């Protein structure tokens, strides 16, 4: 009987120790990774496209400006989105613009 009680007690201690160590691991890992998860809300990274890559006043430029405007307007309303402009039958295939954030 005493042996069964000791085994049961050992099992409880091990179980509690595992739970505590798991909790400590979770807390420590969440504290150390906390700084990497948060980003400044309005930190500007890059905007624009080199005019050397396309002709000014082209359909591509108009579509690019439209896409960038759409992204800027909807960015504060949702965490992610995708856009396509200039993919209709009236515009050339090389003027289509795709965007994702």
The pLDDT, as a whole number, for residue 81 is 86
According to the model, what pLDDT value does residue 4 have? 54
Q: Which helix (H) or strand (E) covers residue 8, if one does?
A: helix 2-32
First to last CA, the chain: 66
pLDDT of residue 6: 56
pTM of structure = 0.46
Long-range contacts of 56-65 (CB under 8 A, 24+ apart): 58/95, 59/86, 59/91, 59/92, 59/95, 60/86, 60/94, 60/95, 60/97, 62/86, 63/91, 63/95, 63/96, 63/97, 64/97
Answer whether 101's CB lies under 8 Å from 81's CB. Answer: yes
**Dihedral sign, Cα of residue 57, residue 60, residue 63, residue 68:** negative
Render each residue's pLDDT in the chain as its tens digit; 101 residues.
555 545 556 777 888 888 888 888 877 777 665 555 555 566 666 666 666 777 888 888 888 888 888 888 888 888 888 888 887 777 777 788 888 88
């Amino acid at each position: 009987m005493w042996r069964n009680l000791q085994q049961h007690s050992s099992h409880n201690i091990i179980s509690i120790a595992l739970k505590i160590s798991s909790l400590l691991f979770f807390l420590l890992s969440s504290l150390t990774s906390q700084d990497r998860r948060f980003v400044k809300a309005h930190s500007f990274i890059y905007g624009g496209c080199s005019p050397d890559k396309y002709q000014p006043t082209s359909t591509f430029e108009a579509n690019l400006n439209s896409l960038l405007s759409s992204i800027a307007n909807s960015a504060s309303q949702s965490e992610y989105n995708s856009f396509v402009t200039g993919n209709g039958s009236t515009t050339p295939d090389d003027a289509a613009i795709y965007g994702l954030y």
